[in-house]
Structure 1
Amino acid sequence: MHRIGYLLSDGFQIMALATQAVFEYANETAGSPFYTMEHYSVEGGEVRSSIGLAVGTRAAGPRTQADTWIVAGVSDPVAMPARPDVLAFLRKAAGRARRVAAICTGGFVLAQAGLLDGRRATTHWAFAREMEARFPDIHVEADRIFIIDGSLWTSAGMTAGLDLALGMVEKDLGAEVARSVAHKLVMHQRRAGGQSQHSEMLDLAPKSDRIQNALNYARQNLTRPLTVEELAAAVHLSARQFSRVFTMETGQSPAKAVEGLRLEAARLMIEQSRHSLDVIAKETGFRDRRHLREAFVRGFGVPPQAVRREARSGA
């Protein structure tokens, strides 16, 4: 039996508890209760989340043990630093546990406890620079879904905690169980930790349905040249009107946005597949692997081979 203890403090983000569904379905898939879960706080009793929902907890004392500790984040780790008794408990618990994990800004709690010194870690992208500035001994990698460094696991914000939990299931019970759990949770893909937190579609954030539909059309037809005229026709606008509205809503030209979508798709294929760069270039609309490499270096600062090596190393 693998015991998981969720360490909660007032103001914790309720999304952290969504990861319990991953372990619940892992038990169901495995056919036996491999995981047990319990909520803890240093004082015990009710702890309120950031939206005011009260959750009952057991007191975490000197003899409290768990195989895995998961620390929930708070909405603002700078304004709400961890209490000294929480940090003292974590320092002792880390020495007895198989692993310690932090979801979202929970990484700041591990950092304050000194557990991340000299290690790689990630957190919500909005607080990554703050973590880097406050804790210079930590190798912060802001553009990662989750990171495993020895027995310490850290994840990016919100839904990335589900990916971290699935990573634990894969490590404990194997890839087939993790795939089954992801399928039951209707997760359209199981993201490896090395994937980027960045989403080109979210960054563009168009305001109208027409421009959103044009972007969806582009993403579904990346193998095509995708001229302004084609995108405009797909949403029943003239090319001139489409270019004007697109730039006004997204802050980018259609050509620049399409290149961003191509790069995002190429990066996913590089991280997740074994296809050659020639195949990936063709599937994502680049002329050839040389064109793909030039765009990759321009967009990400590294060649595609470096991203593939890092993804395989992380796996």
Structure 2
Amino acid sequence: MLPARRCFGHVDIDQFIAIIASMKTLRIAVLAYHGCMPTQLFGVADVLRIAADLDGNLGAKKRMRVQVELIALSGRSVAVAGGIPVQLKRPAGAYDLLIVPGLETRRHVDWAEKMAPLAREVEFIRNSFARGTPVAAICVGAFLLGEAGLLDGRKATTAWLFAGDLAARYPLAKVHSDAILAEDGAVITSAAVSSVFDMVIHLVKRHLGAEVAMATAAVALLPAERASQAPYVDNTLREPALPNFSQHVMQWLTSRLADKYDLETVAQAFHVSGRTLMRRVKEETGKSPLTLLQEARVDKAKLLLRTTRRSTVQIIEDVGYTDVASFTRLFVRVVGESPAKYRQRGAAAMRG
């Protein structure tokens, strides 16, 4: 365990890493609770066991012993997502890291109602952190950290589908909706379900070194390090978040993606001046009408890249661009990769 444990209100993370590096045993707890995702619960333990085994077989002296404990506050059977019962033990002693998996949920969720049965877990998270235990949350496990007050003033991320909900429920959090991992002091949050593996490889790299992390990823067939959720975002799965006026403007623009953009033409369609249109859309969305149009064009291009065999040039023309280089720069800025890379990755996923 950590010597001279301390509160992480203002942590020196480099000092913390140095302390961890000097330890012989790293004790990690993964907090299970009713409805949590078993993929994340067991994924942490499974990959860390692979990493610990590799650490002792790569020629270098074994760095430390990694001890992973799956715990539940009840100390008895917990029904994880899908109603599957899992027998676990109570937490005992101090841990060097507490990991909180996400929970089963739907797109339409009342977060207050969802969090209410987890008050005991939230209190445990809050108290553990106050005693000096760093905390990591996977996927929508970030909401439990938010309930505990750990995200206030900190960078955070979660599944892209629920990033808006996280930002709305915890307005003091600095939500980075595109990030795969967000680390701020002794708090780490990660993206959607499979980011459990990004999280674990990150922890392996930190505590066992880059060589072990690379070997673990290779043995477990985990993808190369991912930096952004943006390539995976599908806005058709999101609830319309725009206020009424901006939603109508967006619908008007979306129905005319191939048309040349002209602010005054759009304004006339809504019987307002160009200045008024700009002001109202900016106040409601924080964006300009042109930005809304660009995002809609990128969304349409993504759909066509996934579902048709039209050439990239044809698709770019379909969404209103004649300059391939200009649209490619826009696509990369929004999605994080080129149209060609996006199509290639999507095709590979379809082939399975």
TM-score of the aligned structures, taking structure 2 as reference length: 0.58
Give the whole-Å Cα distance in 2 for the aligned partners of 1:126 and 1:58. 32
Give the whole-Å Cα distance in 1 for the aligned partners of 2:47 and 2:307. 30
Deviations 1:67-108 (A, max 9, x none): 111111112372421533222221221134552111111101
- Tell me the CA shift for residue 200 of structure 1: 6.9
Partner of 1:22: 47
Deviations 1:253-288 (A, max 9, x none): 47569x9xxxxxxxxxxxxxxxxxxxxxxxxxx976
Give the whole-Å Cα distance in 2 for the aligned partners of 1:293 and 1:126. 25
On the 8 A contact 1:102/1:155 being kept in 2, the answer is yes
Give the alignment of 1:1-315 within 5 angstroms. 1-16=25-40, 17-31=42-56, 32=62, 34-60=65-91, 64-76=93-105, 78=111, 79-81=113-115, 83-192=118-227, 195-199=228-232, 226-228=312-314, 253=315, 293=329, 296=332, 299=334
2:123 is paired with a residue of what secondary structure? helix
Higher Cα radius of gyration = 2
Aligned length: 235
On the 8 A contact 2:160/2:233 being kept in 1, the answer is no
Taking every aligned residue pair, what percent have the same amino acid on both sides?
A: 28
Structure 1 residues 218 and 120, CA, compared in 2 at 3 Å: closer, same or farther?
farther
Structure 1 residues 295 and 166, CA, compared in 2 at 3 Å: closer, same or farther?
closer
2:231 is paired with a residue of what secondary structure? coil
- Tell me the CA shift for residue 126 of structure 1: 1.8
On the 8 A contact 1:39/1:56 being kept in 2, the answer is no
Structure 1 residues 88 and 29, CA, compared in 2 at 3 Å: closer, same or farther?
same
- Tell me the CA shift for residue 19 of structure 1: 2.4
Counterpart amino acid of 1:45? R
Give the whole-Å Cα distance in 2 for the aligned partners of 1:80 and 1:120. 23
On the 8 A contact 1:9/1:41 being kept in 2, the answer is yes
Deviations 1:229-254 (A, max 9, x none): xxxxxxxxxxxxxxxxxxxxxxxx47
Give the whole-Å Cα distance in 2 for the aligned partners of 1:287 and 1:142. 28
Partner of 2:16: none
- Tell me the CA shift for residue 227 of structure 1: 4.9
Give the whole-Å Cα distance in 2 for the aligned partners of 1:59 and 1:53. 19
Give the whole-Å Cα distance in 2 for the aligned partners of 1:47 and 1:122. 27
Counterpart amino acid of 2:37? Q
- Tell me the CA shift for residue 3 of structure 1: 0.8
On the 8 A contact 2:44/2:200 being kept in 1, the answer is yes
Partner of 1:245: none
> Structure 2, unaligned stretches of length 5 or more?
1-24, 57-61, 238-302, 339-352
On the 8 A contact 1:179/1:190 being kept in 2, the answer is no
Counterpart amino acid of 1:12? C
- Tell me the CA shift for residue 26 of structure 1: 0.8
Structure 1 residues 296 and 162, CA, compared in 2 at 3 Å: closer, same or farther?
closer
On the 8 A contact 2:316/2:324 being kept in 1, the answer is no
- Tell me the CA shift for residue 176 of structure 1: 1.4
> Structure 1, unaligned stretches of length 5 or more?
205-211, 220-224, 229-252, 260-285, 305-315
Give the whole-Å Cα distance in 2 for the aligned partners of 1:27 and 1:217. 45
On the 8 A contact 2:102/2:137 being kept in 1, the answer is yes
Deviations 1:212-242 (A, max 9, x none): 9x859989xxxxx7555xxxxxxxxxxxxxx
1:57 is paired with a residue of what secondary structure? coil
Structure 1 residues 96 and 291, CA, compared in 2 at 3 Å: closer, same or farther?
same
Give the whole-Å Cα distance in 1 for the aligned partners of 2:234 and 2:153. 34
On the 8 A contact 1:65/1:97 being kept in 2, the answer is no
Deviations 1:109-156 (A, max 9, x none): 111011111101111122111111111111111111111111101011
What value does the CA root-mean-square deviation take over the aligned residues?
Answer: 3.5
Structure 1 residues 162 and 92, CA, compared in 2 at 3 Å: closer, same or farther?
same
